[in-house]
Amino acid sequence: MRLQSAQHENMLTLEDCIGLCGLTEEEVQAIAQHERIPEIAAAELGNYLVSSPDGELCIRSMIRDDIAHACACADRERELALKLVLRNFIVQHPRCDDRHRGQMHMPERRLAGQGAG
């Protein structure tokens, strides 16, 4: 019985994974809806995307697609909720805001891995 109890203490919950992925629960839910995957997989995907060069732009596009889908389905409540998720995502991840991308120094990916010479 102790072994089983110890295993449960060491397991990560969905909430733990969301807390570690760098996204909010609502952002993870938007990824899950867009990709049609479980939230735990969406948290992992979101964590990968947030740390990749164009990942934040990809997440922004997913949320925008979800907004368009909610609009097409006449789900006004979901559309408004997702617009708030998008707004908060852009505030927390300014690299995906078109107005600020030109002001930020973003090194060329192809040059980052090359040595001098």
What are 59-97's pLDDT values in tens digits? 999 999 999 999 999 999 999 999 999 999 999 988 777
Sequence-distant (6+) residues with CB within 8 A of 37 are 31, 45
What average pLDDT score do residues 12-34 get? 90
pTM: 0.73
Quote the CA–CA distance of 53 and 96 in Å, as a whole number.
Answer: 11
Instruction: Answer whether residue 25 shows pLDDT above 90.
Output: yes
Give the Cα separation of 95 and 49 in Å (integer).
13
Whether 2 contacts 29, CB under 8 Å: no
104 Cβ contact list (under 8 Å, min separation 6): 94, 95
Domain ranges across the chain: 10-98
Task: Report how far Cα 97 is from the mean position of its chain's Cα atoms.
Answer: 14
Q: What is the pLDDT of residue 7?
A: 56
